[in-house]
């Protein structure tokens, strides 16, 4: 039996590989006539070792603004293909937040990039795609750069 995807989630972070993941999610949503969700997670774990002051707040706001912009761009890209994209801006551990949305929204396909903005994020926070594949309960497509 061929799987049919009706609810797709794509994780975006502004990297080139996440742009490719978004393009693939849009293609899959068109093929399956599926609902499409996009999530951008502000990784609060990156700030845990920094002293709590205005600098952390400024960094968080910059990342939150970037997330809003990237989600708006994703929505516009989906709209060019006649798709409605539902956005989610979260904070916390990216892998955990992706899986929480997948469960809450009854997602049947998660699409993630193989790595984030830089390969250094693997050293700092671990690989989000590996976390999602290892801990997720749904089909996951990892898009390579």
pLDDT digits (tens, 9 = 90+) for 85-136: 999 999 999 999 999 999 999 999 999 998 765 444 444 444 899 999 999 9
Residue entry with tokens 């061929």: 2
Distance between CA atoms of residues 145 and 142, nearest Å = 10
Domain locations along the chain: 7-143
pLDDT: is 46 or 83 the higher one? 83
Mean pLDDT on 63-74: 95
Burial label, 138 (beta-carbon count in 10 A; 0-12, 13-18, 19+)? middle
Question: Is CATH 3.40.50.620 correct for 7-143?
Answer: yes
CB 40 within 8 A of CB 133: no
Q: Does an H or E element contain 59, and which?
A: helix 54-80
Q: Which pLDDT belongs to residue 125?
A: 43
Calculate what percentage of the chain has a pLDDT beyond 70.
83
Range picked from 44-53, 78-87, 117-126 for highest mean pLDDT: 78-87
Grouping H, G, I as helix, E, B as strand and the rest as coil, residue 101 is helix
In the DSSP assignment, the letter for residue 14 is: S
> Strand locations in the chain, DSSP E?
7-11, 35-43, 85-92, 109-113, 139-143
């Amino acid at each position: 039996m061929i799987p049919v995807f009706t609810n797709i989630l794509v994780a975006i972070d502004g990297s080139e590989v996440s742009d490719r993941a978004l393009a693939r999610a849009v293609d899959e949503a068109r093929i399956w006539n599926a609902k499409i969700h996009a999530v951008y997670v502000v990784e609060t774990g990156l700030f845990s070792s920094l002293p709590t002051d205005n600098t952390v707040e400024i960094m968080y706001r910059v990342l939150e603004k970037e997330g809003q912009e990237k989600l708006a761009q994703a929505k516009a890209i989906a709209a060019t293909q006649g798709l409605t994209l539902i956005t989610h801006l979260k904070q916390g551990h990216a892998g955990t937040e992706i899986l929480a949305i997948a469960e809450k929204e009854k997602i049947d396909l998660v699409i993630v990039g193989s790595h984030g903005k830089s390969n250094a994020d693997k050293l700092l926070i671990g690989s989000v795609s590996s976390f999602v594949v290892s801990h997720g309960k749904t089909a996951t497509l990892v898009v390579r750069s």
